[in-house]
């Protein structure tokens, strides 16, 4: 195959792909943005940090003789996905997205879909509640517009500076999470409402089962627009595509 893959990672699926590539001895490099202090170790060579926009990624592809790019980033990592789309077109290198289908509400769910983070903040304009923000670190400051709530924040790393939210509790934990763990967390913190992204996948899904079990409403942030690229939902799908 003579392949030399660049895997844009940071998700459960990306890590599963890295394990399969290592087992098969396919030459590949795993790429992290460098968002968290200690990202999960990978069984293939990895790099950390931005490429420097579309041009930086195009240059990386050319200089490292990348034969294929697999965009296995999170559905909300839209900037990375758009950059990969344009850089691969510029370098005429095949691009495949490895992602997971969005979650869909089931019987017993009380979801309120919102299009983006700002709409999620706006929808919290009611009386004071105890709100679980399962959004990570990058967007929690936006909720300072609704200071009446007590926010429970789940973060991968301890924040360097305390969040600018007058009433909050920080939980430092990285997924994948469990249904029992999230049910206990929501009970212990007397959560009234959960705010999350429609990430899809299994690594972040536990909170939906916990919310359903406890009858909690969920503010579900829908996915941003992503480029129209070839997409698979399984690691096997990646190898079928590579064999083409
Ligand atoms: C740096 C690399 C693996 C990947 C595991 C998945 C599952 C656990 C659930 C909640 C939701 C959230 C957040 C989350 C999950 C997996 C996956 C996933 C959500 C790591 C990781 C990196 C990141 C970046 C981080 C963001 C944040 C988002 C926390 C590794 C652990 C909320 C997304 O502090 C920060 O700056 C965190 C930033 C981007 C979203 C945000 O906007 O703040 N992920 N998460 C990647 C890099 O540097 O390139 O250490 O493993 C990966 C995982 N996080 O291999 O096992 O596949 O989604 N990650 C969301 O889904 O809403 C937590 O708390 O319930
Ligand atoms: P983003 O907003 O789409 O990307 C912002 C910039 O970060 C990109 O333009 C790129 O910088 C750099 N970048 C992003 N992902 C990268 C990667 N895998 N390798 C190298 N550089 C990367 O991305 P994000 O939402 O902050 O996500 C960052 C990382 O966390 C991704 O790996 C993603 O898979 C993971 N993650 C994100 C979420 C989420 O909720 N957003 C959830 C779980 C995991 P340059 O332009 O300089 O190249």
Distance CA 202, CA 177 (A): 9
Residues 23 and 75 in one domain: yes
The alpha helices in 146-230, defined as continuous H runs, are 179-188, 206-214
117 and 148 housed in the same domain: yes
* 7 three-state secondary structure: strand
Residue with CA nearest ligand 2 atom 22? 33
Prediction pTM value: 0.96
For residue 2, what pLDDT is reported? 84
Q: Closest residue (by CA) to atom 42 of ligand 1? A: 138
Sign of CA dihedral 179, 217, 120, 140: negative
Ligand index nearest the alpha carbon of residue 205:
1
Q: Which residues contact 21 (CB under 8 A, 6 or more apart)?
A: 5, 7, 28, 44
Q: Which ligand is nearest to the CA of 176?
A: 1
Cα gap 10→28, rounded to integer Å: 15
In the predicted model, is pLDDT for residue 31 greater than 70? yes
Is any atom of ligand 2 closer than 6 Å to the C-beta of 176? no
Asked if residue 235 and residue 162 are part of one domain, the reply reads no
Residues 50-53: contacts with CB under 8 Å, at least 24 apart: 51/83, 51/87, 53/83
The chain-wide mean pLDDT, for the chain, equals: 97
Ligand 2 neighbour 48 (Cβ under 6 A): no
CATH of the domain at 179: 3.40.50.720
Model pLDDT, residue 1: 55
Q: Is the CB of 34 under 6 A from ligand 1?
A: yes
The alpha carbon of residue 28 and the mean position of all alpha carbons in its chain are separated, in whole angstroms, by 21
Please check whether residues 196 and 127 belong to one and the same domain: yes
Shared domain check, 77 and 37: yes
Q: What distance in Å separates the CA atoms of residue 159 and residue 171, rounded to the nearest whole number?
A: 10
Angle between helices 235-243 and 12-24 (to 10 degrees): 50
Instruction: Please report the pLDDT score of residue 118 as a whole number.
Output: 97
- Per the structure, the complete domain to which residue 28 belongs is given by 4-100+225-243
Question: Is there a single domain that holds both residue 229 and residue 192?
Answer: no
Read off the DSSP letter of residue 227. Answer: -
User: Could you give the number of structural domains in the chain?
Assistant: 2
Q: Indicate if 73 and 165 belong to the same structural domain.
A: no
Same domain, 78 and 123: no
Q: What tens digit of pLDDT does each residue of 117-147 get? A: 999 999 999 999 999 999 999 999 999 999 9
Atom of ligand 1 nearest to the CA of 157: 34
Phi-psi group of 96: left, alpha or beta (phi > 0 → left; psi -120 to 50 → alpha; rest → beta): beta
Whether 13 is covered by a domain: the verdict is yes
Confidence of residue 101 (pLDDT cuts 50, 70, 90): very high
184-231: per-residue pLDDT in tens? 999 999 999 999 999 999 889 999 999 999 999 999 999 999 999 999
What gap in Å lies between CA 175 and CA 240, rounded to an integer?
29
Please tell me if the CB atom of residue 207 comes closer than 6 angstroms to any atom of ligand 1: yes
Distance in Å, CA 11 to ligand 1 centroid: 7
Q: Which DSSP letter does residue 3 get?
A: -
Region 79-85: what's the mean pLDDT?
A: 98
């Amino acid at each position: 195959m003579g392949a030399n893959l660049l895997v844009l990672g940071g998700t459960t699926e990306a890590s599963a792909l890295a394990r399969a590539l290592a087992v098969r001895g396919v030459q590949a490099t795993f790429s992290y943005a460098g968002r968290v202090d200690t990202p999960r170790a990978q069984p293939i060579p990895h790099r950390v940090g931005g490429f420097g926009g579309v041009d930086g990624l195009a240059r990386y592809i050319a200089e490292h003789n990348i034969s294929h790019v697999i965009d296995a980033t999170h559905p909300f990592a839209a900037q990375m996905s758009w950059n990969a789309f344009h850089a691969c077109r510029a370098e005429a290198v095949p691009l495949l997205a490895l992602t997971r289908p969005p979650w869909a509400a089931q019987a017993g769910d009380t979801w309120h879909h919102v299009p983006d983070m700002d709409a999620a903040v706006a929808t919290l304009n009611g009386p004071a509640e105890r709100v679980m923000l399962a959004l990570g670190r990058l967007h929690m400051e936006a909720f300072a517009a609704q200071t009446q709530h007590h926010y429970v924040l789940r973060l991968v790393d301890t924040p360097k500076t305390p969040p600018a939210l007058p009433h909050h509790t920080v939980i430092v934990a990285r997924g994948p999470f469990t249904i029992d763990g999230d049910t206990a967390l929501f009970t212990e913190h007397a959560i009234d409402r959960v705010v999350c992204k429609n990430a899809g996948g299994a690594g972040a899904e536990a909170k939906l089962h916990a919310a359903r079990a406890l009858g909690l409403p969920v503010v579900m942030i829908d996915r941003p627009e992503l480029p129209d690229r070839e997409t698979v939902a399984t690691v096997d799908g990646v190898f079928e595509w590579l064999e083409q």
